[in-house]
Amino acid sequence: MRTPIQRGFGLVEAMVTIAVLAILLAVAVPSFQQMIVNGRTRTIAESFRAGVDLARTEAMRRNLPVGFAVVSAVTGCSADTTGTNWVVFLGTTCNNDATVVQRFVAGGSEAGVTVSTSRGTLIFNGIGMSVGGATATIDFGNNLPSAQRRTLRLGVSAGGQTRLCEPGITASGDPRAC
């Protein structure tokens, strides 16, 4: 007499598989959350770098003063030192009468991201240098515990060059270090 061939799997095998998947998921979810928040921090920092580069490029293209301002509001042009939005404008004064070239509104992508800058406004002249030789640093962080947090710093030189680096890295020769 032939024994029937068993196909598929039983209840015990299914329960073990589900238990293993649940354990793996419980371990992986915090890492994914950390990756998402640190990714948002990087995205906001790259956006600010693009905004500063745009202001400098527009100043050289137009041969006129063009400014970059960190702002909190989604409308208007009122410079701030902790906003997560930015605006590029024509002229030297960031006010509600300024002609806006481009505006970045984080729109929810900034959830958990903090921005702190040494200067709320940077003005570039027609040759792409900051007016008065002003330099700026813009620090980006997030609300993760310090061991998991990725901090970034955008440095803007008097010549208008931008550099994004990680102040937490202190290894000599590491290109990510400030």
- Record the pTM: 0.80
Per-residue pLDDT tens for 151-176? 999 999 999 999 999 998 888 888 88
Q: Report how far residue 41's alpha carbon sits from residue 43's, in angstroms, rounded to the nearest whole number.
A: 5
What is the set of domains in the chain, with CATH numbers?
Answer: 9-64+104-163 (3.55.40.10)
> Is the model's pLDDT at 109 over the cut of 70?
no
Q: What share of the chain is helix, strand, coil (3-state, %, to 5)?
A: 30, 25, 45
- For residue 86, the cross-strand partners are 70, 104
Per-residue pLDDT tens for 20-55? 888 888 877 777 778 888 888 889 999 999 999 999
